[in-house]
């Protein structure tokens, strides 16, 4: 984690092409390995795919920091949208 924080804060990473390269590698490796998708719809697709393979997934909603009412409202709406999408998934395909 410390190395990741150092890298994200380095001046080298602030350069456009270097930042784009690091973010692309991060997305294709760590992010896609641990995250089902960037939004509830993409996560639903991933969960359906895992379920069709006979497996179950664990749906965890990562709430971003909120420092004001607008941020809290945005997080609440995102959470509620995730719950709505999970209702469309096959029964027992996901645990919370």
One domain for residues 60 and 90: yes
Domain around 27: 1-34
Q: What is the pTM of this model?
A: 0.53
Distance, CA of 77 to CA of 57 (rounded, Å): 22
One domain for residues 63 and 27: no
One domain for residues 22 and 1: yes
DSSP state of 15: S
Query: Is the distance from CB of 16 to CB of 24 less than 8 angstroms?
Result: no
One domain for residues 80 and 57: yes
One domain for residues 18 and 7: yes
One domain for residues 77 and 67: yes
Q: What is the pLDDT along the chain (96 residues), one digit of tens a residue?
A: 788 778 778 887 777 788 888 888 888 888 877 888 887 778 888 888 888 888 877 766 666 677 889 988 988 888 888 778 777 777 766 555
One domain for residues 67 and 40: yes
Distance, CA of 92 to CA of 79 (rounded, Å): 19
- The tally of domains found in the chain comes to 2
């Amino acid at each position: 984690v410390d190395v990741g924080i150092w890298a994200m804060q380095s001046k080298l990473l602030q350069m456009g092409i270097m930042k784009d390269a690091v973010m692309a590698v991060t997305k294709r490796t760590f992010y896609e390995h641990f995250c089902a998708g960037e939004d509830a719809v993409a996560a639903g697709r991933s969960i359906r795919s895992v379920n069709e393979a006979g497996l179950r997934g664990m749906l965890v909603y990562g709430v971003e920091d909120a420092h004001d009412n607008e941020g809290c409202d945005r997080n609440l709406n995102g959470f509620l949208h995730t719950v709505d999408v999970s209702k469309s998934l096959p029964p027992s395909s996901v645990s919370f």
